[in-house]
Structure 1
Amino acid sequence: MAKKRGQGEDSTRKERKRGQGEGSIRKRKDGTREARLTIGVDPETGKQKQISKYFKTRREAQEWLAKAVHERATGAFVEPNKVTLKEWLDRWLKIYAKQKVAVTSFDFYGTLIRCQIVPAIGHIELQKLKPIDVQEMYAEKMKNGRLDGNGGLSAETVRRIHNVLHGALKQAVKEGYVSRNIIEAVEPPKANKEEVTPLAKKDTDQFLSAVQEDRLYALFVLALTTGLRRGELLSLRWQDVDLNKRTVTVRYTLARAKQEEGPTKTALIFKEPKTAKSRRTVPLTQLAAQVLKTHKARQAQERLFFGQAYQDNGLVFATEDGRPIDPRNFTRRYTRLMKKAKVGHTRFHNWRHTFATVLLELGEHPKVVQEMLGHSKIATTLDTYSHITPGLMEQAVAKLDAVYGQKGSPSS
């Protein structure tokens, strides 16, 4: 009895010969199909490079070949590989990130990769990594991500993890390890806006009065009247200060970073600011210029006292024997001085916020404040100090009243 047309066709009919470049499909003894496709030429051997994949049915093999041929033609094809996320992150960090980011950022990236990302999803192959894998990791990190076991990471830290993964996967796409950056399909947590807490004038007055005899008194005056960051203040050299023109120029920032070689794991480094706007010249108030002159004279006495033991680095703010002040040691000193002044503790960065807040409340243009702070974009300044906006709007309306008065108001 003759078989009906199509009956058992997929299992008994001879496989159709495919055109050149379309790949091939071979029936195996166990009934499955092997699809093969030439993807290029091995530059070392000169032989063709082929990939193969196995399927239960011919239709599945045809669909895969059609997709692979299309991706090859459009440049979207990615050769299968078993590179894990951990392996790729290690490569990306050493080859790409190290050349682009600041030393402190590089150290932070390494910590996030080593302590947060790799333990969670580092074992997954790049080509098998899915958005849901990363999304679930974010949720877990927000809940239980702290290394000390006391709860979850902040939204800001998880967003930094997101940025690291996005940058790494973007480069993986460029190098052909994956066809798309799956991090673009992942939603990071919403950023918590930084709480700006400027010091009240009575607190700054009380603090400066209590530390007037301290050898770093001038540093606090500069912080309050220039808005310089901690690392910028600690990296200032006398060649960056012009007491006649009353200006200071920010050229470097001081930070502690890991080092691959050396007697210690970390070392103090002077590095360039991360943006062009951060390299800036800021005018000095009369008070700041005067206390710097006094500070310079005091430093000269310290240099004479130590003699040849003095390590002259040309720093404005240094240890008594001329060495750079470790930012961590400065923070400890600052905390002790806050207690001495009997002022409620506030982080040193809030002195910078105080500087900006006072200027804006006095009606200074945000663009001027942006330039003095070294923000790369005015949007950063406006977003950071948006709490002042209502008061500025009231001042603006008051100015309009001064110009127009009651003119044009309807008569009663």
Structure 2
Amino acid sequence: MQTEKILHKGKTVYKQTKKNGTVRYAAKAVYLGLDSKTGKPVRTTITASTLRQLDRKTIQAKFDFVEGGATRHSNQQFQISTFKDLAEAWYYNFELMVSSDNTLNRVRNYLDTYIIPQFGDYVPDKIEPIDIQVWVNHLAEKYKNSVKKGYRKSAKGSAKDYGAIVKKMGDIFNFGITNYGLTKNPVRSVQIPPQPLSNRKRVKVLHDEDLIIWLKYLDELPATRANRRFKLICDTLLASGLRINELLALSIYDLDFDNSLINVNKTLVWRNAKPEQGKKGEVICKESPKTAAGNRKVYVPFEILEQLQNFHDEMNLYFRKNGLEKSKLIFPTIYGNYMCDRNERTTLKKRLIECGLPDYGFHLFRHTHASMMLNAGMNWKELQVRMGHKSIGTTMDTYAELAPQKLGSAVEIYNKKMLELRF
């Protein structure tokens, strides 16, 4: 691109000519006026394809600045004409308040999949309670049908959290009342239909007979690097109870060989794309675990640590042979970056189905680990710490039914007490 300075009506304008001959004009530091809140001058850059258009856009920018309250230090920089505009203004503020990428991803999905497609083109103060009630009733019916058909995972647009979606819509209206002069929140009088109970029991654990099948299957896989990595991921999850993204975030410095343990202090998260900012979706490492309680030390068999060390060495040998920098990660990509679990998840699903085992993702091994620990006699407090749960209630609610070998213990305790009392 070729850039030259020209004078236009006594002002310096930059003329930019692309290789294909396209011309664009840019006026930099255009004075809009004094900010009504700070008293400081406000300037901006304006671009256009012709000089005449540049003049018109300059006049419009000054007019919009005055109409917008002559300030850039409030939310009035957002022009609210549709509910989509209001939702985006709310989400901009929401991003500043929330640090969890998983929460941001979930709420962004609420907006993009449900709220904006349904109400994005509406004028905010024209949305009535009946509009929202009919919509949420439809969402509830779709989910109800999904449950009746026994689907383990509902199709996109039929999510069970329709109640949370409507509540977020209520938050958007409250934001509009506080910041943009809306006078009502139609969500307040909407009744959210109750969720139907799933009629399908979900098996989330591999018991002994299934575990034997799975371990034999892993041992018989061809000895490729991809298979070695897959097997090591499964074995480590089963031995430690780690979450998959805690495992993929590990570096070689997180392994404590002296005490035979893994230090869990971070996790990987998926950060959604932001097309409007030119940003693609990416895996990032969050320098803290899922919860504060997730920051923990997990004891594992020494053989697991040795296998993790060996695979780390194998990957760095690959990097050296290909002229790449060494990586501290245990499970890096072939470029040395953090690895996304999506590809391995697809492989896991395929192989569980081949074995005739339930497909519940990598959390299957975390649940199986908990079941093994309970059956071996570990108490609930120990398991809570090992699994990285914030409260023991979470541990008990999640794993109360994952120890079938212990179900008969109540009868044994009762009989023992009766013998003591009678003899």
Per the TM alignment, residue 235 of structure 1 is displaced from its structure 2 partner at its CA by 0.9
Aligned length: 325
Aligned to 1:273: 289
What residue is the counterpart of 2:91 in the other structure?
93
What per-residue deviation string (whole Å, max 9, x for no partner) do you get for residues 138-185 of structure 1? 211234589xxx978445332341343354445556657456684485
Residues 318-359 of structure 1, C-alpha deviations (whole Å, 9 max, x = no match): 235533222111212323444666655442222222122232
Greater C-alpha radius of gyration: 1
Q: Which amino acid in 2 is paired with 1:314?
A: K
2:139 to 138, 141, 144: 141
Residue type of the alignment partner of 2:249: S
RMSD: 3.7
- 1:165 maps to 169
Pair 1:408–1:306, CA change in 2 (3 A): closer
String of CA shifts for 1:234-264, please: whole Å, max 9, x gaps: 1111222212212212222223322437876
Q: SS of 1:313's equivalent?
A: coil
Match of 1:186 in 2: 191
How far, CA to CA, are the matches of 1:161 and 1:235 in structure 2? 31
What residue in structure 1 maps to residue 262 of structure 2?
248
Contact 2:132 2:187 in 1 (8 A): no
Match of 1:304 in 2: 317
Deviation at 1:87, TM superposition (A): 2.8
SS of match in other structure, 2:282: strand
Q: Which residue of 2 aligns with 1:379?
A: 393
1:211 to 205, 212, 218: 218
Q: Which runs of 5+ in 1 are unaligned?
A: 1-42, 45-81
TM-score normalized with structure 2 length: 0.64
Matched, 1:117 2:115: yes
Letter in structure 2 aligned against 1:230: I
- Report which stretch shifted further, 253-262 or 133-142: 253-262
Change in Cα spacing, 1:142 to 1:199, as seen in structure 2 (3 Å) is same
Larger relative contact order, structure 1 or 2 (CA cutoff 8 Å, min sep 6): 1
* Distance 1:180-1:225 versus aligned 2 partners, 3 A rule: same
Cα displacement string for residues 77-111 of structure 1 (whole angstroms, at most 9, x for unaligned residues): xxxxx865433221111122354042243233222
Tell me the equivalent position of 1:350.
364
Query: SS at the partner of 1:244?
Result: coil
Deviations 1:267-304 (A, max 9, x none): 221124342122322221x2xx3133133124313322
* Aligned match for 2:160, one of 152, 156, 159: 156
* TM-score (normalised: structure 1): 0.66
1:113, distance to aligned residue in structure 2 (A): 0.9
Which residue of structure 2 lines up, in the alignment, with residue 4 of structure 1? none
After TM superposition, give the deviation of residue 124 of structure 1 in Å. 4.8
Report deviation, 1:202: 3.1
Q: Which amino acid aligns with 1:295?
A: L
Return the alpha-carbon distance in structure 1 between the equivalents of residues 282 and 309 of structure 2.
Answer: 27
Conservation of the 8 A alpha-carbon contact between 2:142 and 2:158: no
Partners of 1:273 and 1:279 within 8 A in 2: yes
| CA distance 1:215–1:184, change in 2 (3 Å) | farther
Larger deviation: 324-333 or 157-166?
Answer: 157-166
Q: Tell me which moved more, 86-95 or 122-131.
A: 122-131
1:108 aligns with 2:101: no
Structure 2 letter corresponding to 1:291? I
Instruction: Work out the CA distance in 2 between the residues paired with 1:200 and 1:240.
Output: 30
Instruction: Find the counterpart in structure 2 of residue 199 from structure 1.
Output: 206
Question: What runs of 5+ residues in structure 2 fail to find an aligned partner?
Answer: 1-35, 38-79, 146-153
Can you list the C-alpha shifts for 1:169-214, whole angstroms capped at 9, x where unaligned?
Answer: 4555665745668448532532757834211223333323333443
Contact 1:236 1:316 in 2 (8 A): yes
Match of 2:11 in 1: none
Match of 1:221 among 235, 255, 278: 235
* TM-aligned CA distance change 1:391 to 1:211, over 3 Å: closer
Pick from 252, 270, 279: which aligns with 1:238? 252
Structure 1 residues 158 and 238: alpha-carbon distance in aligned structure 2, compared to 1, 3 A threshold: same
CA contact (8 A) 1:211 1:341 kept: no
Q: Which residue is 2:271 aligned to?
A: 257
Letter of the 2:305 partner, please give it: L
Paired residues of 1:257 and 1:268 also in contact (CA < 8 A): yes
Q: Helix, strand or coil: the match of 2:161?
A: helix
Q: CA deviation at 1:385?
A: 2.9
Q: Letter of the aligned partner of 2:263 in structure 1?
A: T
Q: Distance in 1 between matches of 2:188 and 2:206?
A: 40
Q: Percent identity?
A: 23
1:20-64 Cα offsets, whole Å, 9 max, x none, are xxxxxxxxxxxxxxxxxxxxxxx98xxxxxxxxxxxxxxxxxxxx
Shift of 1:392: 5.3
Q: Is the 8 A contact 2:327 2:336 kept in 1?
A: yes
Within 5 A, what are the aligned runs for 1:300-379?
300-307=313-320, 309-320=323-334, 322-338=336-352, 343=357, 345-379=359-393
SS in 2 for 1:364: coil
Question: CA contact under 8 A between 1:215 and 1:295: conserved in structure 2?
Answer: no
Match of 1:18 in 2: none
Deviating more after overlay: 115-124 vs 333-342? 333-342
**Structure-2 separation of matches of 1:189 and 1:152:** 20
- Pair 200,320 (structure 1): closer, same or farther in 2 beyond 3 Å: farther
